[in-house]
């Protein structure tokens, strides 16, 4: 990378690395039983890698609402972003090493308000209608960012409601001074932008698709290493991508294709992996007991155990029930949560307490323990001070019909111990999301977006800043607003960590969101799958794998 302002870039990357230090992520790819096998001579070309979807993708337009992780897992194979996070067999799950992708280099202005990207030459869109393999230019990047942010030509026009507006808050304009240069300007310093530019939530698209369809939701066409195979894809059964012969870095792609079987039942997915119908299996539904069972029946498989650096949070809406506007009631909810029990029951003891608004390593273990204290007696005292008698408060928790109910039932049981009743309202996703975005609920268990950026993954700016488009819960705290603006505008990594810490402490003291736990996840690959390892960034995990068989 050739960076004119390398001192600032180094600070931003140092921040990314610093904020994962001390998160306690356990990452232990188990050695194959029997001492393993000799290292192969080198990558082999060919073959189709089979993975798993828990459900079907539902659309491809990142502006739309109700997105799922399923969607971006194909996005990262077909679309590309300006930057990427490095990942591979030697890269830890929460590593935050920025690398070139569509941009071969980038520069950050000393004031942190402008980001200049120089695009690599020779990149083409996939050779399918209506784009037909034309070259990528800076105009495509400008068009994409204008579309996602609803600015420039899209301002005032009818475009889908967006779930990504928070990534562009404070954006002034996007410039394309020549075919290979893009300049993104913000009104104020904007520390999170480089991480956002590497996330799968900012893919670079072709305007021809929008001009043809009026959106990007129905066609998946990008510049990436794979093309969507609509003929081989069968909704409800299998989704298929095939190698893009015109990919700018084709020599790094060894697979002929990737297919994902739609296996809604975890037992079915487990059986498919055991019988080697599935090659790589990264699935949030895998719990500690499942991981142990899979390893015992398939000892040659490689097991990955890792802690996810985005916590399970508990959104508390202040819009629906008056009692929840009282900080004492919100604090009582936090004190009623036994986070150690959540870790043991749900994550085999591999989880860790999560403080909403913070990032792994921001607080010491001792500080975190004090802020996530479990004390039912104090919780009951606070409820009494707020005028709420045992059994006098019933809260509605909204759940999607695909959510794992075990975690919700555990929370329900814990709150009941202090006299708070929780009732579940189970909704299909298309009904659940509008209620969530409107704050029409009492509590909702949530998790971050996987962007490797505290700004959104720790619910820092989005949930708590009064003017944020993601502030579904109605938080309106002028003092906190000032703190949150500082987390975005402070470029020095140490000072930004201090700003995040101050904001997170305020969030905890006011009980705006009783963070619950950093979850643990498990994943498996067959012994013949090489250069594959789960990574926090959604998208291209399978892209550079190869099969030694």
Domain-wise residue ranges, the chain: 6-30+43-305+521-547, 313-518
Angle between helices 493-509 and 6-18 (to 10 degrees): 40
46-103 tens-digit pLDDT = 999 999 999 898 888 888 755 566 787 888 899 999 999 988 888 888 888 899 999 9
Instruction: Determine the pLDDT at residue 41.
Output: 67
> Selecting from 3.60.15.10, 3.10.105.10, 3.90.79.10, 3.20.20.80, what CATH number does the domain 313-518 have?
3.10.105.10
- Alpha-carbon Rg for the chain, nearest whole angstrom, is 23
Residues near 407 by beta carbon (within 8 Å), at least 6 away in sequence? 312, 342, 346, 445
Q: Which residues of the chain have pLDDT under 50?
A: 1-38
In this structure, what token pair is assigned to residue 232?
Answer: 């081989």
Residues near 72 by beta carbon (within 8 Å), at least 6 away in sequence? 200, 201, 450, 538, 539
Q: How far apart (Å, rounded) are the C-alpha atoms in residues 314 and 302?
A: 33
Distances (CA, A) of 130 to 134, 158, 208, 209, 269: 10, 22, 6, 7, 36
In this structure, what token pair is assigned to residue 58?
Answer: 């539902």
Instruction: Determine the pLDDT at residue 74.
Output: 86
Q: How far apart (Å, rounded) are the C-alpha atoms in residues 233 and 238?
A: 6
pTM over 0.75: yes
184-235 tens-digit pLDDT = 999 999 999 999 999 888 999 999 999 999 889 999 999 999 999 999 999 9
266-274 long-range CB contacts below 8 Å, 24 or more apart?
266/290, 269/52, 269/54, 270/294, 272/52, 273/52, 273/298, 273/301, 273/524, 273/526, 274/298
Instruction: Determine the pLDDT at residue 13.
Output: 38
CB 515 within 8 A of CB 314: yes
Nearest residue to 386 (alpha-carbon basis) of 335, 457, 455:
335
The superfamily (CATH) of domain 6-30+43-305+521-547 is Periplasmic binding protein-like II (3.40.190.10)
């Amino acid at each position: 990378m050739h960076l004119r302002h390398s001192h600032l870039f180094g600070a931003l990357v140092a921040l990314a690395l610093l904020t994962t230090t001390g998160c306690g992520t356990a990452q232990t790819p188990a050695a194959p039983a029997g001492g393993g096998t000799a290292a192969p001579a080198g990558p082999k070309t060919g073959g189709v890698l089979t993975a798993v979807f828990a459900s079907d993708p539902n659309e491809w337009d990142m502006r739309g609402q109700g997105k799922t992780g399923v969607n971006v897992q194909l996005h990262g194979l077909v679309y590309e972003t300006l930057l990427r996070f490095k990942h591979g067999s030697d890269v830890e799950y929460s590593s935050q090493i920025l690398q070139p992708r569509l941009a071969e280099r980038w520069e950050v202005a000393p004031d942190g308000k402008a980001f200049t990207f120089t695009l690599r030459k020779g990149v083409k869109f996939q050779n399918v209608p209506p784009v037909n393999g034309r070259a990528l230019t800076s105009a495509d990047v400008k068009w994409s960012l204008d579309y996602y942010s609803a600015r420039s030509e899209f301002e005032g026009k009818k475009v889908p409601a967006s779930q990504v507006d928070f990534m562009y808050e404070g954006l002034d304009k996007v410039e394309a001074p020549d075919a290979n240069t893009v300049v993104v300007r913000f009104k104020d310093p904007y520390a999170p932008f480089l991480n956002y530019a590497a996330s799968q939530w900012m893919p670079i698209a072709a305007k021809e698709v929008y001009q043809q369809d009026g959106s990007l939701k129905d066609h998946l066409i990008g510049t990436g290493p794979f093309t969507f195979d609509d003929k081989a894809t069968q909704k409800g059964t299998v989704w298929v991508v095939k190698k893009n012969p015109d990919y700018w870095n084709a020599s790094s792609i060894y697979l002929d294709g990737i297919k994902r079987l739609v296996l809604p039942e975890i037992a079915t997915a487990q059986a498919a992996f055991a019988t080697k119908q599935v090659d790589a299996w990264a699935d949030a539904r895998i719990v500690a007991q499942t991981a142990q069972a899979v390893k015992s029946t398939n000892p040659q498989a490689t097991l990955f155990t890792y802690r996810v650096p985005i916590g399970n949070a508990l959104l508390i809406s202040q819009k629906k029930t008056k009692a929840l506007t009282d900080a004492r009631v919100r604090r009582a909810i936090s004190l009623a949560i036994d986070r150690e029990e959540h870790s043991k029951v749900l994550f085999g003891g591999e989880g860790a307490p999560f403080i909403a608004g913070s990032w792994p390593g921001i607080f010491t273990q001792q500080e975190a323990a004090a802020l996530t204290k479990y004390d039912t007696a104090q919780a009951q005292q606070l409820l009494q001070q707020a005028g709420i008698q045992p059994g006098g408060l019933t809260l509605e928790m909204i759940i999607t019909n695909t959510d794992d109910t075990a975690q919700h039932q555990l929370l329900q049981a814990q709150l009941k111990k202090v006299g708070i009743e929780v009732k579940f309202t189970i909704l299909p996703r298309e009904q659940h999301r509008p209620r969530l975005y409107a704050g029409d609920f009492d509590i909702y268990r949530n998790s971050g977006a996987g962007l490797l950026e505290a700004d959104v993954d720790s619910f820092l700016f989005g949930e708590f800043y009064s003017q944020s488009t993601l502030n579904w819960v109605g938080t309106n705290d002028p003092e906190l607003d000032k703190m949150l603006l500082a987390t975005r505008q402070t470029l020095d990594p140490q000072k930004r960590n201090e700003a995040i810490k101050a904001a997170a402490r305020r969030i905890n003291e006011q009980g705006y969101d009783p963070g619950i736990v950093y979850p643990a996840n498990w994943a498996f690959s067959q012994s013949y799958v090489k250069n594959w390892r789960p990574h926090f960034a959604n998208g291209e995990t399978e892209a550079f794998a190869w099969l030694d068989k």
